[in-house]
Amino acid sequence: MFTRYLYLMTLAAGLMFNQLAQAQTEQYEKHANIALAAQEFARELASVHGQEAKISIKVDPLDKRLTLSKCTAPLSAFESPNSKNSGRTTVGVRCDGDKNWKLYVPVTIEVIRNVVTIRQGVTRRAALKESDLVMQEKDISGMHNGYYTDSKAVIGKLVKTSLKSGTVISPRNLKTPLAIKKGTTVTIIAELSGIKIRMKGKALKSGGIGDWIAVENSSSSRKIEGKILDDGIVGVML
């Protein structure tokens, strides 16, 4: 009889403990809800990278000891002072319910894009050819020096240093071949009212296609800035 009584008391105590633990749990906001709010906001931040990018969001686990009152309003997320749209960052999550609170949640935003890389190693001063290049999916979060998403933008450019296979090409790796050397004779093209005027001139600076350089009109000795359009050709505006 006593054994049965002891069993029933133990069972009742267990049930009371479970109910108490459940009640306490229901008083606090679930960490999963906080993480979800942070994740959704981080995805919004990363949307600036366009539909071509593959976005992956990783939210750091919250401290198990963290207890925040269950919010009586929907959780809202916001930018922290350190929020970024890629890489390691933080997102704010707050409760605007009966008991207000806010916290900052560490997240990692991976942004995967197809970028131009080196297929096989190339040596210094080599002019890049299409066969030297291959598109690869890479996380661009840490590519602070830039990258290319179109191989046509780098074909014909010279590499400043040797690059090994798999290297992501950045603008810092490249330089434009000289289309005009300082002191050489150039053709200056000016357009006025739809009419193109050609004249001879002298380059006062070296540059590649797309660069702006100073040139001197051979007839008038007038100096003017122009854009290099092609080898030996400079376009100016009158």
CATH class for domain 178-237? mainly beta
Q: Give the integer Cα–Cα distance in Å for 185 and 102.
A: 68
- CB hemisphere CA count around 172 (13 angstroms): 6
* Cβ neighbourhood burial of 43 (10 Å; 0-12, 13-18, 19+): middle
- Give me the percent of the chain exceeding a pLDDT of 70: 89
User: Are 85 and 46 within 8 A, CB to CB?
Assistant: yes
pLDDT digits (tens, 9 = 90+) for 1-29: 545 554 445 544 454 444 444 444 468 99
Domains of the chain by residue range: 31-111, 112-175, 178-237
Q: Please state whether the predicted TM-score (pTM) of the whole model is above 0.75.
A: no
Specify the pLDDT at position 237.
84
Cβ neighbours around 139 below 10 Å, total: 16
Domain 112-175 fold: Type Iii Antifreeze Protein Isoform Hplc 12 (3.90.1210)
Specify the pLDDT at position 209.
86
Give φ, ψ of 11 to 5 degrees.
Answer: -65, -45
- Rg of the chain (C-alpha set): 32
Q: List the one residue out of 236, 119, 238, 224 whose CA is nearest residue 188.
A: 236
Strand pairing category for 185-192 and 233-237: parallel
- CB hemisphere CA count around 193 (13 angstroms): 0
Q: Give the integer Cα–Cα distance in Å for 75 and 84.
A: 21
Return the sign of the alpha-carbon dihedral for residues 115, 121, 123, 129: negative
Specify the pLDDT at position 238.
72
pLDDT digits (tens, 9 = 90+) for 31-85: 999 999 999 999 999 999 988 899 999 999 999 999 999 999 999 999 999 889 9
